[in-house]
Structure 1
Amino acid sequence: MKRFQLSQLQLLLLSIIITAVLSVKGYSQSYTKGEFRDSIANQPYFSIHKDNYFITGVPTNKTIDRTTANAKYQISFKQILTRSRLPWDTYLFMTYTQKSFWNIYKESFPFSDINFNPSIAVGKAFFDKKDKLKGIANLSFEHESNGRDSIFSRSWNRLSLEYTTNVAKNTIGRFKVWLPFGYKEGNPDLLEYAGLGQINLSHIIKPDKFFFDIRFRKGLNLDLKGSVRTRLYFNPFDNNISNQYLMLEWFVGQAEGMLNYQQSQSMIRLGYVIRTNEFKWLSGK
């Protein structure tokens, strides 16, 4: 199988972007412990978890035709299970995310892969000595599978720990590691492509108008297996009370979907997204 690797130019461009983002100093005014608790108490039980989107596009590393172009969409929500504070000031919630790859340019419009990702999690906020919000940690049990059987079955379970915090002005970092289990039947080499964690940086270029997001994953081995996903969000509307944006996404690497996780991809897609504001508290007031 031919492996797709990031070129030196691509790696250099990514390094320049990250350096520029992280070199900016200063922060927005942070939430206090009381303000954060009030916000948790007043937010809806049911809300968006990850981005909800419909995007379509073409590959950059193979011939473009109706078999290689496709659409991808995702639905994701979060349900708070208890508003009352649990021990150690934690709160309990569940999430569900479904990501689908849809061959809308082929006859009969078949779905090539559908991935299901439910979880149950405990969240906790951390504050500094002045009771200002520093970050939010989530400990979750996740299952992910494609709901198929026989040789097409793909699934894994993981215990995940994620910490989200401000890393620079207008930049939020999400650092996630996982302890996987129950994956060796059907996809025993999955970790060579998905790795043991990911780093996600989200930068506000212009509030409520223009955002940049990048996510890194590295496989277990020393080769270049893994993935880089970059996103640009643009709001074309004068008022944006519903977090609606246009999104340009470029995915490079492996394990974009579960069925063909070993297959290398370089896909550029464009479409509509309702962007999550799950960590709005870290954007400041």
Structure 2
Amino acid sequence: MSYRTKLTNTLIICCFCIFLGHGQMISRSELNDSIQNFSYFTIHKDNYFISGFPLTNDINSNTADAKYQISFKQMITRDRLPWETYLFITYTQKAFWNIYKDSYPFRDINFNPSLVLGKTVFDKNQKLEGIATIAFEHESNGRDSIYSRSWNRITASYITNLTKRTVAEFKAWVPFGYQNGNPELLEYTGLAEINLEHELKKNRLYLNVLLRKGLNFKAKGAFRPRLYFAPFGKNTSNQYIMVEWYWGHGESLLEYEEFRSMIRFGYVIKSNEFNFFRMKN
């Protein structure tokens, strides 16, 4: 068994071996009131600008880079649809920028719009237990010829608490429309991912880990831990300094087959999509 395979298996086992805890969760009425006060337009995933270098290659202007992401969500309606669901659209754009090379070229830009139907799930005491979604997603890099990469997928996700301070998102997808440009994509992205976030210090320090395994028996997939630190007092602006390590494949569509081990750090406006699951004091 290779070093990469052993490391991947160890990380997966560690992430699943978490003691399930309990706490005071938000109630149905409190959640409904919160949704009515929401802005229609909010951030979706993290919005960030980070820069860094590889851990497996020489560090120079060709290997160091910057990565940034812009992501937002627009609610279609605050009113509940049939089966107590909500409809919204999202858009995420991720760019890989060779800012240390002459002329500062963009290596790849990935565009990811989606249409999402979400449903809140409550326990027998009418406390929030989870949020389930089903979505249609498209992702492409907007290029043509041999550099074109795109795929479509129907995704299902579920967000819930694992412990008082740990929130998990389980996400799976059924892909289609990807065979022409990138027929081996699933060998590197797989059919599912797990996103875990642990609150180390309330409103100040968080650890987030994403795990993805390709459809193979080799160590293809991704392991991406992030550490967020808020240096700004009570942090009402939701701004953090972030350190990210990306280890694995599929970081960008254009080079999804390439293995990368990149460490980057920079500024982030953190996503608030896990906030409903923060235990109340």
TM-score under structure 2 length normalisation: 0.95
Correspondence 1:162 to 2:157: yes
% identical equivalent positions = 56
Report the Cα offset of residue 222 of structure 1.
1.1
Separation of aligned partners in 1, 2:90 and 2:12: 32
Aligned twin of 1:263: 258
- Report what 2:177 is aligned to: 182
Alpha-carbon shift at residue 179 of structure 1 (Å) = 0.4
Q: Output the CA distance in 2 between the equivalents of 1:71 and 1:175.
A: 28
Match of 1:59 in 2: 54
Task: State how far apart, in whole Å, the 2-side matches of 1:200 and 1:222 are.
Answer: 21
Q: Which residue of 1 aligns with 2:95?
A: 100
Instruction: Work out which of the residue numbers 206, 211, 220 in structure 2 matches 1:216.
Output: 211
**Is 1:238 equivalent to 2:237 in the alignment?**
no
Q: Is the 8 A contact 1:135 1:164 kept in 2?
A: yes
Could you tell me how far 1:15 is from its partner in structure 2? 5.8
Is 1:18 the counterpart of 2:21? The answer is no
1:194 pairs with one of 186, 189, 204? 189
Cα distance change of structure 1 residues 222 and 19 upon mapping to structure 2, 3 Å threshold: closer
Deviation at 1:9, TM superposition (A): 5.6
Partner of 2:134: 139
SS in 2 for 1:168: coil
CA drift of 1:170 comes to 0.4
- 1:6 is matched by which residue type in structure 2? R
Counterpart CA distance in 1 for 2:104 and 2:247 is: 24
Deviation of the 1:168 alpha carbon: 1.3
1:28–1:170 contact (8 Å) kept in structure 2: no
Contact 1:49-1:95 at 8 Å conserved across structures: yes
Q: CA RMSD in A?
A: 1.6
CA deviation string 1:52-85 (max 9, x = no partner): 0000000011111100000000000000001111
Q: Secondary structure at the match of 2:162?
A: strand
CA distance in 1, matches of 2:3, 2:267: 28
Report the 3-state secondary structure (helix = DSSP H, G, I; strand = E; otherwise coil) of the residue aligned with 2:233: coil
TM-score by length of 1: 0.94
Residue matched to 1:28: 23
Q: CA deviation at 1:280?
A: 1.2
Partner letter of residue 216 of structure 2? N
Correspondence 1:40 to 2:38: no
| 1:58–1:68 CA contact under 8 A, matched in 2 | yes
Letter matched to residue 18 of structure 1: C
Structure 2 SS opposite 1:215: strand
Query: Structure 2 matches for 1:117-128, cutoff 5 A?
Result: 117-128=112-123
